[in-house]
A and B are shown apart, each in its own frame.
Chain A
């Protein structure tokens, strides 16, 4: 987001006093809740209804996913630190935490790639049974959201390195953070219903 855009966004008076783009992100998150809700329902409806293996209890590696879950949750902490740094215009720290958040997201994604390829190796493909189809669709949709978040964070990082991201753009970082935290919260739900309820 360029300087003029951010400046004009600040100048515009709004009826509620909330910035337009933040409101947009909240409404979008509302819509996303229904998207993930529908996917979660699909997964739950098909839980235990696969008629051929491999079954979830044979494959799911809870300790491993617990570690990547921890990594993803820590990325929410670094996101908060990044926003705080940008808000006080400490761009050295801001850059560091933005990059850390993106890297933690990437670690989580690598874990997911490893998990997926392990499952395929063990004989669970997308079309093997209902567990495969609903599992890959649900976690894959979440992974795609994480990937979008990582690209978004890296874009901000590149802007910051080029000196084009300052405390004047704190709102942009805050909105990125809203999205990022939402994606994390969704994972907490997925972790519970896929892995803990197995």
Chain B
């Protein structure tokens, strides 16, 4: 949170970062980007990197080591599985961007020449380091979404997930292959035919596990007793939009075709179909699905469906024309385009679409606001879900399960005898919780102070921040673990 605050505070002090999301060297050099914009970006991303790695380490250890009795890995809910895989991506991908950002920081702050071609530096090194992080990062965003869809579809089809092991292994395979495709973002820089061919092939391979998942979801719905509630609307919308994004992805996995498409609006259309049509639809599916569990209130179905239809139509209105704009040669990363090339009508469609898209998000916020005040009470299990979270109250008590459940199956609430203890037994003693600690927050605050010192180039502030970090580490390490 401190990292995001820091990054966004740059809009107040001298403007936001202005070198694109991949910040290619040497657009980020002090020569081409003076001022503090890029410094805010670099340091904000470093804080977020540290916090992401810390959280991911926490998830990994928790999922490996602290499962309920009987909860073998192959009985875990898919959402947990994908979080697990994502955590590995995080701890392995983030260090590459950390190093890239450190090199950039040294260039900008101390005057080294890592990305200065005049002194022998190599701007392509930044692109490699960035995309070794950047492509796994795409799957860091996507895999939890795939996990959400794999939870929602079985629940609303009243059928266990079709081919559970295939869905799990596909997720692992996507993550694994995700580390071997980074240079497909760099087909146009001239890596030579062998490099381009290898990265084309690995990129095409990723389509296989992704396709496997899509067929598994469709097969789960096939012959199920479907209940079309808002979460399923978003899940089905996700599948349809994600297929479109996946298809354009396969199109530019071919290096030869990509040379026509790179840096055009076609790529902008592709990324939005996978990132918005994919990740954001999955995110809303998950929010509508778990909102009752988290808050104890149902979100309104009527407003939810209005939100879905408006978002689906506006999304396609915004981004579908961009396929054509890109194919007709409209370059990306320009704030305007030449008149008289026939781009006007489709750009107008995009503009109208994006306004409606923003409005649909307002409808969602209204739904949240309205439902929190006047929503129906959810009860423990509004959807008839199969997984353990639906066995406890909504919102869950702070200790979650009063009695630790013993897991015998993948769908414990759907199977006879799946749950043989009363997990809410009020006579059972309240579980011990780890004592709350302020030290991690103080530690994070120390990192923020270091970053503020670094961005304003005042050494005493950096040292003060580092001092806070050290004190916090010792305070945390020596604090008793349990009350």
**Chain A residues in the interface with B (C-beta under 8 A):** 1-2, 4-5, 8-9, 14-16, 18, 20, 23-24, 27-28, 30-32, 34-35, 37-39, 42, 45-46, 49-51, 126-127, 129-130, 132-134, 137, 155
**Number of B residues with CB within 8 Å of any CB on chain A:** 40
**Given A16-B65, A23-B64, A34-B95, A4:B102 Cβ within 8 A:** no
Which residues in window 74-128 of B have CB below 8 A to A?
A: 91-96, 98-100, 102-103, 106, 110-114, 119-122, 125
Task: Please pick, from A2, A8, A20, A130, the residue contacting B61 in the complex, using a CB distance under 8 A.
Answer: A20
Given contacts A2-B480, A32-B95, 12 further A-B contacts (CB under 8 A): A4-B481, A15-B71, A16-B65, A23-B65, A34-B92, A38-B129, A46-B114, A126-B106, A127-B113, A129-B120, A133-B112, A137-B102
Q: Smallest CB–CB gap between B46 and chain A, Å?
A: 12
Residue in A32, A42, A50, A155 whose Cβ sees the most chain B Cβ within 10 Å: A42
Q: Smallest CB–CB gap between B191 and chain A, Å?
A: 14
How long is the Cα–Cα vector from A130 to B106 in the complex, in angstroms? 12
List the B residue with the shortest CB-CB distance to A35: B95
Tell me if A18 and B129 are in contact (CB < 8 A): no
Tell me if B106 and A137 are in contact (CB < 8 A): yes
Task: Please pick, from B65, B119, B121, the residue contacting A14 in the complex, using a CB distance under 8 A.
Answer: B65
Q: Smallest CB–CB gap between A35 and chain B, Å?
A: 4
Which residues in window 436-483 of B have CB below 8 A to A?
A: 474, 477-482
9 A-B pairs with the lowest CB-CB distances in the bound complex, closest first? A35-B95, A38-B99, A34-B95, A31-B91, A133-B112, A5-B481, A14-B65, A15-B67, A51-B120
Which residues in window 153-196 of B have CB below 8 A to A?
A: none
**Chain B residues in the interface with A (C-beta under 8 A):** 53, 57, 60-61, 64-67, 71, 91-96, 98-100, 102-103, 106, 110-114, 119-122, 125, 129, 132, 474, 477-482
How long is the Cα–Cα vector from A14 to B125 in the complex, in angstroms? 43
Task: Please pick, from A1, A24, A38, A133, the residue contacting B114 in the complex, using a CB distance under 8 A.
Answer: A133
List the A residue with the shortest CB-CB distance to B94: A31
Task: Please pick, from B60, B120, B481, the residue contacting A9 in the complex, using a CB distance under 8 A.
Answer: B481
Q: Smallest CB–CB gap between B47 and chain A, Å?
A: 16
Q: Smallest CB–CB gap between B169 and chain A, Å?
A: 21
List 18 contacting pairs A-B, 8 Å CB cutoff, sorted by A: A8-B482, A18-B65, A23-B61, A24-B60, A27-B60, A37-B95, A38-B96, A38-B99, A46-B120, A46-B121, A46-B122, A51-B119, A51-B120, A127-B110, A127-B111, A130-B114, A130-B121, A155-B474
Tell me if B66 and A31 are in contact (CB < 8 A): no
The total of Cβ contacts below 8 Å across the A-B interface reads 110
**Given A46-B120, A137-B103, A4:B480 Cβ within 8 A:** yes
Q: Give the chain B neighbours of A133 by CB distance below 8 A.
A: 106, 112-114
**Given A27-B60, A31-B53, A45:B125 Cβ within 8 A:** yes
Tell me if B120 and A50 are in contact (CB < 8 A): yes
How long is the Cα–Cα vector from A39 to B125 in the complex, in angstroms? 11
How long is the Cα–Cα vector from A137 to B111 in the complex, in angstroms? 13
Residue in B53, B99, B100, B132 whose Cβ sees the most chain A Cβ within 10 Å: B99
List the B residue with the shortest CB-CB distance to A131: B120
Tell me if B98 and A42 are in contact (CB < 8 A): no
**Given A24-B61, A31-B57, A34-B92, A130:B102 Cβ within 8 A:** no
Task: Please pick, from A24, A28, A42, the residue contacting B103 in the complex, using a CB distance under 8 A.
Answer: A42
Residue in B53, B110, B120 whose Cβ sees the most chain A Cβ within 10 Å: B120
Q: Smallest CB–CB gap between B97 and chain A, Å?
A: 9
Task: Please pick, from A5, A8, A15, A38, the residue contacting B64 in the complex, using a CB distance under 8 A.
Answer: A15
How long is the Cα–Cα vector from A2 to B154 in the complex, in angstroms? 46
Q: Smallest CB–CB gap between A176 and chain B, Å?
A: 12
Q: Give the chain B neighbours of A31 by CB distance below 8 A.
A: 53, 57, 91-92, 94-95
Q: Smallest CB–CB gap between B417 and chain A, Å?
A: 22
Q: Give the chain A neighbours of B71 by CB distance below 8 A.
A: 15
Tell me if A27 and B57 are in contact (CB < 8 A): yes
Tell me if A1 and B95 are in contact (CB < 8 A): no
Tell me if A42 and B65 are in contact (CB < 8 A): no
Q: Give the chain A neighbours of B106 by CB distance below 8 A.
A: 126, 133, 137
**Given A15-B64, A16-B64, A137-B106, A49:B120 Cβ within 8 A:** yes
Q: Give the chain B neighbours of A129 by CB distance below 8 A.
A: 113, 119-120
How long is the Cα–Cα vector from A24 to B64 in the complex, in angstroms? 10
**Given A5-B481, A42-B103, A49-B120, A34:B65 Cβ within 8 A:** no
List the B residue with the shortest CB-CB distance to A134: B114
Q: Give the chain A neighbours of B64 by CB distance below 8 A.
A: 15-16, 18, 23
How long is the Cα–Cα vector from A45 to B103 in the complex, in angstroms? 13
Q: Give the chain B neighbours of A9 by CB distance below 8 A.
A: 481
Tell me if B96 and A27 are in contact (CB < 8 A): no
Tell me if B65 and A27 are in contact (CB < 8 A): no
List the B residue with the shortest CB-CB distance to A159: B478
How long is the Cα–Cα vector from A18 to B114 in the complex, in angstroms? 42
**Given A2-B480, A16-B64, A49-B120, A42:B94 Cβ within 8 A:** no
